[in-house]
Amino acid sequence: MKRRDSLKYIAAGALATGTLAIGCKTDEKKSDTTAAVPDKKTGLHRYEDEKKYEEEVEKMPDFFNAHEMATITVLTDIIIPKDEVSGSASDAKVPDFIHFTVKDQPKLQTPLRGGLRWLDMQCLKKYEKAFKDCTPQQQIEIVDLIAYPERAKGKPELAQGVAFFTQMRNLTVTGFYTSEIGVKDIGYAGNKPNQWNGVPDDVLKQYGLAYTEKELKECVSFS
């Protein structure tokens, strides 16, 4: 938060103490089995068993091999490419997110590995190349077969591909829109100290809505 804004809120009495706790280093508690220690990697406070779980996940061997990660990178960038507003999935490190996610949620491993191989098999049969080695045009031809569930209805040979692509799309959008690039793209404007003064006037007008006299009188107002 900008220092200017933080001072404004301290003056307004918003904060309980005179100093902001954000970014302060915390003292590591004397070792006791359930003391919270900040996880050095993420900075989030974790108790011993949570920390152990995070470490176990980190220590797991990488699930995807190089070929699979390369395929995932191509796929996620097709799902979320760079456009006028924001960067691509790989700009937002979505492949890393997926790489972590399959360790954090092992039940995703088989469906994704199987789906990636399914995809490669389709391409090998059609173009004699794995998905990531096909031309962009060929890649889009294959994606078009499985990206639209309605279109693929009545084609049972594509059903697994549709399920896989839907799963990849879900993971890609979630990884993208929870990244810094994605949060900016989607226009989420919160997660900061502010003063809620109600729906902006132009928006009220747009929807033909208004606050009642009672609301205007009794609700918190910031002029």
Q: Does 50 bind other proteins (CB under 8 A)?
A: yes
**DSSP state at residue 90:** T
Q: Name 38's bridge partners.
A: 45
Q: Does 7 bind other proteins (CB under 8 A)?
A: no
Strands of the chain (E only): list them.
37-38, 45-46
Q: Does 108 bind other proteins (CB under 8 A)?
A: no
- Quick note: the x/- pattern for other proteins over 185-214, rule CB under 8 A, is xxxxxxxxxxxxxxxx-xx--xx-x-x--x
CB of 120 to other proteins, least distance (A): 18
Nearer to other proteins, 117 or 178 (CB): 178
Q: Name 46's bridge partners.
A: 37
Backbone torsion region of residue 23, taken as left when φ is above 0, otherwise alpha when ψ lies between -120 and 50, otherwise beta: left
**DSSP state at residue 37:** E
Nearer to other proteins, 22 or 128 (CB): 22
Q: Does 114 bind other proteins (CB under 8 A)?
A: no
CB of 117 to other proteins, least distance (A): 20
**Rounded to an integer, what distance in angstroms lies between the CA atom of residue 43 and that of residue 20?**
16
Q: Does 110 bind other proteins (CB under 8 A)?
A: no
Report the residue from 4, 32, 59, 136 that binds other proteins according to the rule CB under 8 A: 32
**Rounded to an integer, what distance in angstroms lies between the CA atom of residue 44 and that of residue 222?**
33
- Quick note: the x/- pattern for other proteins over 126-155, rule CB under 8 A, is -----------------x---xxxxx----
**DSSP state at residue 180:** H
